[in-house]
Homo-oligomer: A and B are copies of this chain.
Amino acid sequence: MTDQKRIILKPIGYVRTKAAGDEVKDKTQTSQIVIDSEFSEAIQGIDGFSHIFVLFWLNQVSGQPKTLKVHPRGREDLPLLGVFATRTKLRPNPIGLTLVELLGVDGNVLVVRGLDAFDGTAVLDLKPFDFWDMAEDARVPEWWTKLNREKSGHS
């Protein structure tokens, strides 16, 4: 039913950051999101929210992954899981989703903390975070808890 469909997106801006390599995973680092001038009106009022979701294109990944299963963070001591059970970049549609703190807005530039995206990454959408977006009583699997004890950032 959906096989024939193709969905076309256009970036609304891009990420600017000095962080490189694994530094982008450091949740304390700040980045900028530069909104394309044609969309600058669309951020009006976003500063009423302290946190936003950033949807971005994992553009260092090209083509469709050959495998649909991964070990979280490539660790073979952790279970082999479907990609939709993880936050791996190797997804059929490599869209990244990260909750960030919105520190400020200057013209068409948003300053955010905690965005794990590389310099130049295409941004697809911004959504304000509200209390429908959280589940305080959420259950996560053991492998997630184990990884989280060891490091910080998404699995």
Which A residues are closer than 8 A to B by beta carbons? 1-3, 5-14, 27, 36, 39, 41-46, 48-53, 55, 57, 68-69, 79-87, 91-93, 95, 97, 99, 101, 120, 122, 124-144, 148, 153-155
| A51 interface neighbour in B81, B120, B138, B154, Cβ under 8 Å | B138
The 5 closest A-B pairs by CB, nearest first: A48-B141, A45-B85, A134-B134, A45-B81, A2-B11
Contact of B101 with A135 in the complex, beta carbons under 8 Å: yes
| A87 interface neighbour in B51, B91, B128, B139, Cβ under 8 Å | B128
**A137 to B153 alpha-carbon distance, docked (Å):** 19
In the assembled complex, 9 residue pairs joining A and B whose CB atoms fall closer than 8 Å, in A order, are: A6-B9, A7-B57, A45-B85, A55-B93, A84-B128, A87-B127, A91-B125, A99-B134, A130-B154
| A130 interface neighbour in B27, B91, B101, B155, Cβ under 8 Å | B155
